[in-house]
C-alpha cells in the first residue's frame, strides 16, 4: 500500500506538470518582478539558481526546468495576485512561445555607407548576461538570433555580416567561450547572448563537437579565400575540466607550448588529430589533413596562457565568459576571427583579402587547378633587395662581422621621434597641446602602390613617383627654408622644422636609401632628385586597399557605437571624445585591438628572428612567408611620415606656428589656449585645406593632451635633456623612465 508521502509526492509531480504550461510570458515575468521591487539576484537566490538564468527566463532565451519551474510559477502567481496588470500594461502573448529570442541590438549610429561592420551585441550590463540554457541541448534557428534579411539589406556595405547571417553552417557565430557553470556542466557562450550545452568530455571530442554540431565559423572574406575556422576560447574552469594546466610554467612559457608528452596531446594523437608546428600553446590549431575542399580545423585561444596580450586586449582575459564572447565577437565580425595575436591577425587579414591562389578555368578534362591570384603576393616568398634586408639577413652574410651599415647601405624608413628646444617666443605661451593622428599608419596604407613581386636592380634610373621601390639618392640639398606648397613657393623657418627624410628629423648628409614616397615628396617640395641606383618593382598594385578599408570601417563603426561619429562638427567631436572609453569599456577594448592590428600587421611584414637558436647570416622562420615584405612596411611608414610632414608645412606656412615635438603619430605645439580649436585655423567650421582637421576618420586628428609650458621646461631640466621628446608624455604628463622611453 502506498504511504501518505508517496501520494503527496505523486500529487506534487502532477502540480509540477501543470506548472509547465502555467507561466506568463517573458515580458510579464519581468513586469511582475519589477512591480514587486525585487532584483534578479533575489529571485535567483530564492530558487537556488544563477542571476543569469533568471535574466534568460525574462528575455525568453530559456525556460525554467523542474523543480525550479514549479517554484517560479508559484512566485509569479503570487506576484500577479498582488500586482495585477493594468490595461495599458497588458501585452499580447505570441501565438507560439519561442524558446530562444534574439537579444535587442544596440542602435546603429554609424552612418558611413562604406562600413562593413556588424551590429554590436548588447553589453551584458545592459542586457542580462547569458547563462546555460537550462533544459536545452538544441540550437536556436538562425532566424531567432540574426537580423532579418530586410534589416541587413538597409546597409548594403555589410556584406560579410550578411553572408554570415545567411550561412547556416555558421549560424551560431564565429567563436564561443567554453566555460563550466555552477551546476558543473560545460557550456559555450556564443555571440549575441546564445549559450550552448557542450557534451564533450575531452579535447578531441570537443573538437569533434565543434565541427559537427556547434555551427561555428565565419565565411571567407574574398572569393578565392577560405572560410575562417571556428575559434574556441577556454576559460580556467574549462582547462581544468579537460585536463589542461590553468597556467604555463616558466619553461613552457619560453617554449610557447606544453610538452609533447602531455596527456591531452596524446589523446589528440590517438584520435588522429594533429597540431601545427607551434604545438599546443596559447593559440593552438588542431586539424586533420583536408580532403578536397573540406577543412577540419579548430583553433583554441587560452587567455590564462597569455593568449590575449594585455597591451592590446586590456583586461579582456579576466572578463566573465559572456562579456569576453561579446568583445571577441565584435572584433571577429568587423575585422576577422582572431588567428593569434593582433599582429598575426593583421597579417592574416592581408592574406584573407588577397589569397595567393585562385581556381583556374576548367581544362580539357573539366578540372580546375590552383593558379596565381592577380593582385596578391603569391604563394612563394621573394627575396628583398640588399638595402631592404635587416641586419643578420642571409643576403648580408658576407659583410664583416661587426660592420655597421650607414644610410648609403641600408633603407631606414621609420616613424618620427624628433624634438627641439622651445624658442623664447614659445616659452611665453602658456600651454603645450598635443594632436594625435587617428589610425595614422592605416591612412598611410590607403591607396599606396606597393611591389608585389621581386625587385629589379637599376643603375642611374630616372625617378618615377608611381614606381614602388628603394632609391639611392642624395637629398641633402633640400632646403626647408624655401619650399613649394601647392603651386607657390613659401619662406619658412627651416630650423624649426624636422627634415622629412630621417626619423630623427636631421638633415641628410649625403646619398641614402629611401622608399618611393620619400623621394616623391622631395620633388613635391620643388627640388630635383637624381637617383644613383634603385631596386624597383615593376609588378605592383594597391595590395593594402582592402585591408585598410576593412580596418577603417571596423574602427569607425566601433567609435560610432561609442558615440563618436564621422560627421561631427569640430567642437562636437571634441566633446564626444571626452570620456569615450567610459561609455562602454568593452567596446573600448575592441578599438584598442583594431589599432594594434594595424600596427602589428605592418610590423609582421619585417618580422625579426625570435630565438630558436638563430645565428646572424642564417635564415629564420618568417623569411619563408610570402608576406615577409620589409619593402611594403617601409613604404607605408614612409608615406605616413610624409603625410605628417606635409600637414606640418601647410600649418606653418599659414599660421607661422611650428611643432616642438613629434613622436610617431603625435605632434605638440606651444599655444596660449588649452585645446586644438585654440590654434587650428578653422574658418566657418572648415579647416585649412591640406592641414590638420579634427575628426575620427583615419588621417584626421584628435586631442592627445594638454600640459603647461612650465611642465615641459621643468621635465627637461629635471632630466637634463633640452630635447627630451615631450610628445611621449603629453597625454597625462606622467614621466617615468626617460632612458627606456616608457
Q: What is the tens place of the pLDDT at every residue in 630-672?
A: 999 999 999 999 999 999 999 999 999 999 999 999 999 999 9
Q: What percent of the chain has pLDDT over 90?
A: 68
Per-residue pLDDT at 630? 98
3-state SS assignment for residue 112: coil
Same domain (yes/no): 397, 491: yes
Q: Once rounded to an integer, what is the mean pLDDT over residues 127-132?
A: 37
Binned at pLDDT 50, 70 and 90, residue 292 comes out as low
Same domain (yes/no): 315, 397: no
Same domain (yes/no): 40, 181: no
Q: Residue 414 and residue 210: Cα distance in Å, rounded?
A: 44
Per-residue pLDDT at 2? 62
Cell numbers standing for residue 713: 621646461
Per-residue pLDDT at 1? 60
Q: Once rounded to an integer, what is the mean pLDDT over residues 95-102?
A: 33
Nearest CA among 742, 673, 674 for reference residue 706:
674
Residue 248 located in a structural domain: yes
Per-residue pLDDT at 10? 61
Per-residue pLDDT at 307? 96
Per-residue pLDDT at 96? 32
pLDDT tens, position by position, 425-465: 999 999 999 999 999 999 999 999 999 999 999 999 999 99
Same domain (yes/no): 176, 70: no
Residue 218 located in a structural domain: yes
Q: What domain range includes position 222?
A: 157-340
Binned at pLDDT 50, 70 and 90, residue 130 comes out as very low
Same domain (yes/no): 189, 331: yes
Residue 223 located in a structural domain: yes
Same domain (yes/no): 163, 297: yes
Nearest CA among 456, 469, 452 for reference residue 372:
452
Same domain (yes/no): 334, 390: no
Q: Which domain-ending residue is among 54, 82, 110?
A: 82
Say how many domains are in the chain: 3
Listing DSSP states for 369-437 in one string gives: -EEE-TTS--SS--PPPGGGSPTT-GGGTTS-TT----TTTS------EEE-PPPHHHHTSSEEEEEEE
Same domain (yes/no): 42, 176: no
Q: Residue 438 and residue 450: Cα distance in Å, rounded?
A: 22
For residue 274, the surrounding DSSP H or E stretch is strand 274-275
Residue 52 located in a structural domain: yes
Length of the chain: 742
Same domain (yes/no): 65, 207: no
pLDDT tens, position by position, 142-195: 333 333 333 333 333 345 455 555 688 899 999 999 999 988 999 999 999 999
Q: Which residues pair with 706 in a beta bridge?
A: 433
Q: Which domain-ending residue is among 31, 63, 82?
A: 82
- Could you say which DSSP state residue 438 is in? T
Q: Once rounded to an integer, what is the mean pLDDT over residues 623-628?
A: 96
3-state SS assignment for residue 436: strand
pLDDT tens, position by position, 463-481: 999 999 999 999 999 999 9
Q: Residue 454 and residue 451: Cα distance in Å, rounded?
A: 8
Per-residue pLDDT at 82? 80
Q: What's the CA angle centered on 464, arms 459 and 467, to 5 degrees?
A: 95
Q: Evaluate whether 698 touches 658 at the Cβ level (below 8 Å).
A: no
Per-residue pLDDT at 155? 37
Same domain (yes/no): 405, 528: yes
Task: Quote helix, strand, coil % in the chain, to nearest 5.
Answer: 35, 15, 50
Position 378 pLDDT exceeds 80: yes
Q: Once rounded to an integer, what is the mean pLDDT over residues 593-614?
A: 93
Per-residue pLDDT at 714? 93
Per-residue pLDDT at 290? 75
pLDDT tens, position by position, 536-564: 999 999 999 999 999 999 999 999 999 99
For residue 178, the surrounding DSSP H or E stretch is strand 175-180
Residue 176 located in a structural domain: yes
Q: Once rounded to an integer, what is the mean pLDDT over residues 233-237?
A: 97
Binned at pLDDT 50, 70 and 90, residue 37 comes out as confident
Q: Residue 702 and residue 591: Cα distance in Å, rounded?
A: 15
Binned at pLDDT 50, 70 and 90, residue 737 comes out as low
Same domain (yes/no): 232, 324: yes
Q: Residue 616 and residue 425: Cα distance in Å, rounded?
A: 50
Per-residue pLDDT at 142? 33
Residue 229 located in a structural domain: yes
Lowest-pLDDT range of 23-27, 339-343, 602-606: 23-27
pLDDT tens, position by position, 379-413: 999 999 999 999 999 999 999 988 999 999 999 99
pLDDT tens, position by position, 487-535: 899 999 999 999 999 999 999 999 999 999 999 999 999 999 999 999 9
Residue 475 located in a structural domain: yes
Q: Which domain-ending residue is among 24, 47, 82?
A: 82
Per-residue pLDDT at 168? 86
- Which stretches within 335-466 are classed as H helix? 342-353, 424-427, 440-445
Per-residue pLDDT at 38? 86
Position 104 pLDDT exceeds 50: no
Residue 359 located in a structural domain: no
Same domain (yes/no): 171, 289: yes
pTM of the model: 0.79
What is the CATH classification number for the domain harbouring 26? 1.10.260
- Report the mean per-residue pLDDT for the chain: 86
Q: Residue 244 and residue 239: Cα distance in Å, rounded?
A: 5
Per-residue pLDDT at 360? 86
Per-residue pLDDT at 13? 58
pLDDT tens, position by position, 676-705: 999 999 988 889 999 999 999 999 999 999
Binned at pLDDT 50, 70 and 90, residue 136 comes out as very low
Amino acid at each position: 500500500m502506498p504511504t501518505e508521502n508517496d501520494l503527496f509526492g505523486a500529487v506534487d509531480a502532477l502540480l509540477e506538470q501543470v506548472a509547465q504550461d502555467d507561466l506568463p510570458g517573458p515580458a510579464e515575468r519581468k513586469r511582475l518582478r519589477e512591480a514587486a521591487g525585487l532584483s534578479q539576484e533575489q529571485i535567483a537566490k530564492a530558487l537556488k539558481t544563477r542571476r543569469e538564468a533568471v535574466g534568460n527566463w525574462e528575455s525568453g532565451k530559456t525556460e525554467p526546468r523542474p523543480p525550479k519551474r514549479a517554484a517560479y510559477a508559484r512566485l509569479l502567481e503570487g506576484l500577479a495576485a498582488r500586482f495585477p496588470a493594468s490595461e495599458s500594461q497588458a501585452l499580447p502573448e505570441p501565438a507560439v512561445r519561442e524558446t530562444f529570442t534574439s537579444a535587442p541590438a544596440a542602435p546603429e549610429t554609424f552612418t558611413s555607407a562604406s562600413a562593413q561592420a556588424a551590429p554590436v551585441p548588447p553589453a551584458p550590463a545592459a542586457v542580462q548576461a547569458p547563462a546555460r540554457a537550462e533544459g536545452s541541448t538544441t540550437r536556436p534557428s538562425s532566424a531567432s538570433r540574426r537580423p532579418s534579411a530586410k534589416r541587413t539589406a538597409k546597409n548594403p556595405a555589410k556584406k560579410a555580416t550578411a553572408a554570415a547571417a545567411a550561412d547556416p553552417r555558421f549560424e551560431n557565430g564565429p567563436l564561443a567561450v567554453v566555460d563550466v557553470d555552477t551546476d558543473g556542466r560545460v557550456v559555450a557562450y556564443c555571440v549575441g547572448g546564445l549559450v550552448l550545452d557542450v557534451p564533450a568530455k575531452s579535447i578531441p571530442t570537443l573538437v569533434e563537437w565543434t565541427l559537427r554540431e556547434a555551427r561555428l565559423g565565419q565565411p571567407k572574406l574574398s572569393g578565392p579565400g577560405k572560410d575562417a575556422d571556428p575559434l574556441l576560447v577556454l576559460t580556467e574552469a574549462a582547462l581544468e575540466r579537460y585536463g589542461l594546466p590553468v597556467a604555463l610554467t616558466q619553461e613552457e612559457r619560453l617554449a610557447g607550448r606544453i610538452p609533447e608528452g602531455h596527456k591531452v596531446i596524446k589523446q589528440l594523437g590517438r584520435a588522429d588529430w594533429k597540431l601545427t608546428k607551434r604545438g599546443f600553446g596559447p593559440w593552438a590549431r588542431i586539424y586533420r589533413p583536408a580532403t578536397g575542399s573540406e577543412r577540419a580545423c579548430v583553433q583554441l585561444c587560452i587567455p590564462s596562457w597569455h593568449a590575449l596580450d594585455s597591451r592590446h586586449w586590456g583586461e579582456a582575459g579576466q572578463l566573465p565568459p559572456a562579456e569576453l564572447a561579446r568583445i571577441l565577437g565584435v572584433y571577429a565580425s568587423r575585422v576577422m576571427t582572431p588567428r593569434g595575436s593582433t599582429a598575426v591577425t593583421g597579417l592574416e587579414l592581408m592574406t584573407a583579402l588577397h589569397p595567393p591562389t585562385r581556381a583556374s578555368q576548367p581544362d580539357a578534362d573539366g578540372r580546375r587547378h590552383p593558379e596565381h591570384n592577380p593582385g596578391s603576393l603569391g604563394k612563394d616568398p621573394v627575396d628583398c633587395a640588399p638595402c631592404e634586408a635587416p641586419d643578420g639577413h642571409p643576403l648580408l652574410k658576407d659583410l664583416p662581422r661587426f660592420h655597421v651599415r650607414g644610410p648609403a647601405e641600408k633603407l631606414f624608413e621609420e616613424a618620427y621621434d624628433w624634438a627641439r628646444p622651445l624658442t623664447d617666443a614659445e616659452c611665453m605661451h602658456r600651454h603645450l597641446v598635443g594632436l594625435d593622428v587617428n589610425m595614422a599608419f592605416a591612412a598611410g596604407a590607403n591607396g599606396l602602390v606597393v611591389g608585389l613581386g621581386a625587385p629589379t636592380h637599376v643603375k642611374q634610373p630616372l625617378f618615377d613617383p608611381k614606381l614602388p621601390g628603394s632609391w639611392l639618392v642624395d637629398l641633402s640639398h633640400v632646403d626647408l627654408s624655401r619650399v613649394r606648397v601647392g603651386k607657390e613657393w613659401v619662406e619658412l623657418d627651416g630650423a624649426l622644422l624636422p627634415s622629412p627624410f630621417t626619423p630623427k628629423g636631421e638633415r641628410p648628409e649625403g646619398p641614402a636609401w629611401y622608399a618611393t614616397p620619400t623621394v616623391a615628396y622631395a620633388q613635391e617640395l620643388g627640388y630635383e632628385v637624381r637617383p644613383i641606383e634603385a631596386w624597383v618593382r615593376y609588378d605592383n598594385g594597391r595590395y593594402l586597399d582592402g585591408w585598410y578599408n576593412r580596418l577603417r570601417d571596423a574602427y569607425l563603426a566601433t567609435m560610432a557605437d561609442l558615440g563618436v561619429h564621422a560627421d561631427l562638427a569640430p567642437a562636437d567631436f571634441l566633446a564626444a571624445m571626452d570620456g569615450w572609453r567610459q561609455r562602454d569599456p568593452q567596446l573600448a577594448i575592441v578599438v584598442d585591438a583594431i589599432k594594434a592590428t594595424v600596427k602589428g600587421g605592418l610590423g609582421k611584414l619585417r618580422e625579426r628572428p625570435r630565438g630558436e637558436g638563430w645565428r646572424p647570416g642564417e635564415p629564420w622562420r618568417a623569411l619563408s612567408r610570402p608576406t615577409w615584405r620589409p619593402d611594403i612596411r617601409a613604404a607605408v611608414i614612409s608615406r605616413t611620415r610624409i603625410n605628417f610632414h606635409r600637414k606640418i608645412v601647410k600649418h606653418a606656412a599659414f599660421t607661422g606656428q611650428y611643432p616642438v615635438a613629434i613622436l610617431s603619430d603625435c605632434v605638440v605645439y606651444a599655444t596660449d589656449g588649452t585645446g586644438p580649436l585654440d590654434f587650428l585655423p578653422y574658418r566657418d567650421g572648415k579647416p585649412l585645406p591640406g592641414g590638420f582637421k579634427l575628426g575620427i576618420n583615419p588621417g584626421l586628428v584628435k586631442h592627445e593632451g594638454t600640459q603647461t609650458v612650465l611642465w615641459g621646461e621643468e621635465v627637461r631640466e629635471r632630466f637634463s635633456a633640452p630635447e627630451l621628446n615631450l610628445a611621449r608624455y603629453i597625454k597625462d604628463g606622467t614621466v617615468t623612465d626617460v632612458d627606456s622611453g616608457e
